[in-house]
Amino acid sequence: MIPGARLILLGRQGAGKGTQCVRLSRHYVVPHISTGDMLRAAVREGTELGVMAKRIMDGGGLLGDDIMVGLVRERLSEPDAMGRGYILDGFPRTVGQAIALDEITIDAPLDAVIDLHVPRDLVLSRLSARRVCQDCGTNYVATGSEKMPWICEVCGGDVMQRADDTPEAIDKRLDLYEEQTAPLIDYYSQQRRLVVVDGVATPDEVFHRLTEAVEATRRPG
């Protein structure tokens, strides 16, 4: 069996991280840990951290590093992550979170921190064309030839553009990502732990580049 892996996958929204995280998770037989999914699960299950997070979010506040680090610490202590590893998606977002993650993983360090690089103008184009089923969340790409109303092939729900997928909203999200992530990129670059992978290719080609990047970190020298 292929060895497991302990990975962080960084990249702009629209870079294809979600697709590649699923493929890498299957390839290395490790959980894909999305902090967004993890947060929703904690709130739904009413865990101590989930209750705290819900109270803050309901009040319009932003979650501090302590809550996010606590959620990740709990998740990484579960048997599946402790055994073969994991793929972290959406964490860390700040240098403070990265330092805390180093402390959490001191006994089993990360194999690689990968930045899936896709130019800003391309992700803007991709996200502007994205359409989402309102019921099941399936993603589609608009080409201009779709029949209206657009019906989801999976569940029959309505397929629409998300309110935050307009060019103006996407630009703001990309600005925020770059503002948050630049110090994080510097942090991992200075430690020579960052691997930049070109994300402009077919999904199969990008997946091959990602697995090659992971294996390269395991080779002596």
Predicted pLDDT of residue 2: 84
Specify the range with the lowest mean pLDDT, choosing from 56-65, 77-86, 105-114, 144-153: 56-65
6 part of the active site: no
The one catalytic residue in 17, 23, 75, 126 is 17
What does DSSP assign to residue 158?
B
Predicted pLDDT of residue 150: 93
The one catalytic residue in 54, 73, 84, 93 is 93
Burial of 177 (0-12, 13-18, 19+ CB in 10 A): middle
pLDDT band at 5 (very low <50, low <70, confident <90, very high): very high
pLDDT band at 82 (very low <50, low <70, confident <90, very high): very high
pLDDT band at 116 (very low <50, low <70, confident <90, very high): very high
Predicted pLDDT of residue 221: 57
pTM above 0.85, yes or no: no
Is 158 a residue whose pLDDT tops 90? yes
Is 145 a residue whose pLDDT tops 90? no
218 part of the active site: no
Which are the contacts of 120, defined by CB distance < 8 A and separation ≥ 6?
A: 12, 174
Predicted pLDDT of residue 77: 93
Region class of 188: left (phi > 0), else alpha (psi between -120 and 50), else beta = alpha
Is 147 a residue whose pLDDT tops 90? no
130 part of the active site: yes
* Model confidence pLDDT, tens digit, residues 11-35: 998 899 988 999 999 999 999 998 8
23 part of the active site: no
Query: What is the C-alpha separation between 207 and 39, in angstroms, rounded?
Result: 27
User: What is the mean predicted confidence (pLDDT) over 120-139?
Assistant: 88
Return contacts of 99-103, CB within 8 angstroms, 24+ apart: 100/65, 100/69, 101/69, 101/72
Range among 13-17, 61-65, 202-206 rated most confident:
202-206
Q: Of 121, 109, 86, 98, nearest to 12 (Cα)? A: 121
The one catalytic residue in 162, 172, 192, 219 is 162
Predicted pLDDT of residue 187: 96
The one catalytic residue in 173, 193, 209, 219 is 173
Q: Length of the chain, please?
A: 221
Query: What is the C-alpha separation between 129 and 15, in angstroms, rounded?
Result: 13
Predicted pLDDT of residue 86: 97
Query: What is the C-alpha separation between 198 and 174, in angstroms, rounded?
Result: 18
Three-class secondary structure of residue 147 per DSSP: coil
Percentages helix, strand, coil for the chain (3-state, rounded to 5) are: 50, 15, 35
192 part of the active site: no
- CATH superfamily, region 5-218: P-loop containing nucleotide triphosphate hydrolases (3.40.50.300)
Portion of the chain with pLDDT greater than 70, in percent: 98
Query: What is the C-alpha separation between 155 and 192, in angstroms, rounded?
Result: 46
